[in-house]
Structure 1
């Protein structure tokens, strides 16, 4: 009998170890480490429209544990609008899963500050590019591939990356500590940089962010804190497992 009980307990332990973590949940260890969900898988709590006090009435859906921006006309932040976190962040470790449809474009921005007047396109901020590199034309624009998936949009290309095929899940990660920032894709670091450094400012001067509008309230990308933003770029993209830890 003791042998049977031990065998049953061992089987249960092994089964639990092999069971994948449910989406949009935190393990006991993650909670202990200070991780918090930015998306609970059921509601839009903690999010609102950019430059708005309400969540968009249409376009963004929560279904089956996914936060999805629906396809419209491919334009930037015009059809349904971007969404931002209610909270602002400075030093953080942020992870998120994203799933692209064919030819899709979106982005996750950080250090987003909503200065007036509202820009015509997306709110200003540093962007982790989310893109179908093979089918979307933006991948061939910019400089040296700095508009491809995982890149710091229009500034630094992701290097040595391995993105999963369209329709499968990818995991992005942004780590910001002091002035140092890292982008990760599927468990591999693909770039790093120092906000406000001479090299960073040189890259800004060679990008679209050199325009006066981007620097009217201080140098682009150098705000001390800001919101996290998910972009409506007119294509269908889904998100889940969005979680953050303050550093």
Structure 2
């Protein structure tokens, strides 16, 4: 279901026999096309084009491009506290998609990637509507003591089936596949979460979480993708999406 779809129609000369006489029909190749689901880059490696500050405006100066990655420079807490950081979001919305990206976190760090984010004045933060795949230093951050808050988890909802995160400071490959309610999370090539959204079982799961009193949480089936500013240094790179 999630493999690229290739419909390849090629033709040049078709030959057939009829009554002992062979005939040729030449078919113009321009009548045929190759249909392929394409990967779209959400980060060009050198600018923050296609990203904006959540709630409107340009990306805060705490977010930088460093060595081909999007880097949150949280070393200057003054920038963060005066609003020069903040969560950032894509300018485009997505519904069914396969997203892949790499992340690494500083020692004792916490961050996340949030999807199905609905940007509206009544929602102050992306996590009030969107779902988060957790980014965390499992060995150093206190959130790691809470099941469903560790790296790769569907934050505060579903714990990873196994721990595949790499040591702090190393790059991790994460993937999120959302297709008509079916949701899969992968960390370093291993599927760590699989669930179905927007079912009675899903609603019961949300009702037991910290999001239970947030009326907009997980209600939107199309939304933006957000990189979280949790006040810690974090890096993201090779962010690509395929529409399903």
Are 1:67 and 2:64 an aligned pair? Answer: no
Q: Is the 8 A contact 1:77 1:232 kept in 2?
A: no
Q: Which has the higher helix share?
A: 1
Q: Count matched residues.
A: 207
Are 1:35 and 2:39 an aligned pair? Answer: yes
Q: Which has the higher strand share?
A: 2
Aligned to 1:115: 120
Tell me: CA distance 1:170–1:77, structure 2 relative to 1, closer, same or farther (3 Å).
farther
Are 1:131 and 2:136 an aligned pair? Answer: yes
Corresponding residue SS for 1:103: coil
> 1:74-85 alignment to 2 at 5 Å?
80-85=85-90
Aligned to 2:218: 221
Aligned to 2:57: 53
Aligned to 1:204: 206
Gaps of at least 5 residues in structure 2 are 1-34
Q: Is the 8 A contact 2:40 2:240 kept in 1?
A: yes
How far off its partner does 1:159 sit?
1.1
Q: Is the 8 A contact 1:76 1:122 kept in 2?
A: no
Query: What do residues 65-86 of structure 1 show as CA deviations (whole Å, max 9, x unaligned)?
Result: 011011255x899661000000
2 CA distance for matches of 1:193 and 1:139?
Answer: 22
- Of structures 1 and 2, the larger Rg is shown by 2
Match of 1:178 among 174, 177, 180: 180
Aligned to 2:194: 192
Aligned to 1:163: 165
1 CA distance for matches of 2:158 and 2:39?
Answer: 28
Corresponding residue SS for 2:211: helix
Query: What do residues 12-32 of structure 1 show as CA deviations (whole Å, max 9, x unaligned)?
Result: xxxxxxxxxxxxxxxxxxx95
2 CA distance for matches of 1:79 and 1:172?
Answer: 27
Tell me: CA distance 1:78–1:152, structure 2 relative to 1, closer, same or farther (3 Å).
farther
How far off its partner does 1:197 sit?
1.3
Q: Is the 8 A contact 1:133 1:139 kept in 2?
A: yes
Tell me: CA distance 1:121–1:33, structure 2 relative to 1, closer, same or farther (3 Å).
closer
Corresponding residue SS for 1:162: coil
How far off its partner does 1:195 sit?
1.0
TM-score, normalisation: structure 1: 0.79
Structure 1 residue runs of 4 or more that deviate by more than 4 Å after TM superposition: 75-79, 120-123
